[in-house]
Chain A
Amino acid sequence: AQSVTQPDIHITVSEGASLELRCNYSYGATPYLFWYVQSPGQGLQLLLKYFSGDTLVQGIKGFEAEFKRSQSSFNLRKPSVHWSDAAEYFCAVGYDYKLSFGAGTTVTVRA
């Protein structure tokens, strides 16, 4: 069965500092992996996705993620966070055209 683990429930980072959000997945086949961001009271916005090919994926808003098959990980990174990056971040694995989400990581940005 597929599952996604986001080990960090809450991360606080200073504005301008780097950010890394961890994501580990469990899936028997080649995974389709996604990162979504959700602002309070809003739907989810797709940041980036990995289907195949280059394991370093570039997304919107300056985010990138690296797929590491050996570690079953798909960690999200941003070199320098902005106050507007404060939000909830969800990692997801696609299977049978569905998505299985992690529990999410709340990012707080301090001035």
Chain B
Amino acid sequence: GAVVSQHPSWVICKSGTSVKIECRSLDFQATTMFWYRQFPKQSLMLMATSNEGSKATYEQGVEKDKFLINHASLTLSTLTVTSAHPEDSSFYICSARDTPTSGGPGNTQYFGPGTRLTVL
């Protein structure tokens, strides 16, 4: 149980285009999902918290107009990198937090496999 998928697993795009990354909880409902960014050989940096049916909460220093997050259902959150530039190239990882109604203690995050974004 507690499987999280991401799509696509990797994407290459031209500078100035937008890219959408999907994060799905496959076997549990997740009212809260998280988006992280990871640079090579570094730890995960939390970008934003995505709550189903409401606006995302962004961490300090993260541009909300550049990284658009939508959490339209209990199993799907999307991250859209708008007008991507080479400095946006990174590994993006999502996670989904289980809730008491799904049998977990309500504070465990399960991670997707990540999406490698390369902006040319």
Contacts and interface: CB of A to CB of B under 8 A. Distances in A.
Interface residues of A, number: 20
Contacts of B69: none
A33 B120 CA distance: 39
Contact of A101 (B43, B91, B108): B43
Interface stretch (A19-27, A44-52, A57-65): A44-52
B107 A104 contact: no
Contact of B34 (A41, A90, A98, A103): A98
Contacts of B109: 46, 99
A44 B93 contact: yes
Contacts of B34: 98-99
Interface of A: 32, 34, 36, 41-46, 49, 51, 90, 94, 97-99, 101-104
Interface of B: 4, 6, 32, 34, 42-44, 46, 49, 91, 93, 95, 97, 105, 107-114, 116
15 contacts: A42-B113, A43-B6, A44-B95, A44-B111, A49-B108, A51-B105, A97-B32, A98-B34, A98-B46, A98-B49, A99-B34, A99-B95, A99-B109, A101-B44, A104-B42
